[in-house]
Chain A
Amino acid sequence: MNHTLLDRLRPGTADCPSEMALDKWCCEALPAAEQRLVAEHVNGCEICGERLDLRRLGLDAFPLFDEAQQVAELQRRLSDASGPIRTDTPLPVLVCAEISQRNPVE
C-alpha cells in the first residue's frame, strides 16, 4: 500500500536514519562506526540534508531562548517537588509558523 497516512508521516525514506538516530548523530552520540555510516548516508541524501536544515533552523534559534532564565526555572522546579509548571516565559519564534486553518474535527 503506497502513501498511507502513516507512511507519509515517516521522516525520510526507509533507508534514512530515524529522528533519534539523526539527533544522536548531531550530538556525536553514536558509536564510531554508526557515526560514519550516518554521515555517509546524510552526505548523499537530499531528504536528510533537508532534515538537517530543519534542525539547524531550530537549533540555531534555540540560543535566543533565555537559557539562564530557563535553567533558573528548572532549578526552582527541582527544589519544589510540588511546584506547578510556569508558562509565562516568552518564547522567541523558533520556526516560521504555518497555521493550518483547517478544522478536521468538528
Chain B
Amino acid sequence: MAREQLQNLTEPMYYILLTLTTPKHGYAIMQEVEKISHGDVVVGPGTLYRLLARFVKKRIIKQLKDDDDRRKSYILTDKGYEVLRTEYRRLKKLAENGAEILD
C-alpha cells in the first residue's frame, strides 16, 4: 500500500525516516541526516517541512504529544517501519545484484 503511494523513496526521504526511529524535532532531523549520511545529504528547512507534512498525512510518521518542549517531535509509525524496511530490502537487493557483477 505504502509503496504504491510513495513509490521509491528519494535519498532525503530515506534518511529522514532513518532518523525517526527515535523521536526527533525538525532541526534535530536535519542535523542527524547530515551526520548519518556523512555530509552527503543535506535537507533544507523548507524541504523538510513539506516532507514531514507529507509523511504525517500518509501516516508514515506521527507527531508526538506535546511535552515540555514546544517543538513538535515526530516518530515512525508501524506503517513507517514497514515502508522503511521494504525500502532497505530493495536497496540491499540492488546493491547485492550489483556486487555479483561488479565485485
Is B a genuine binding partner of A? no
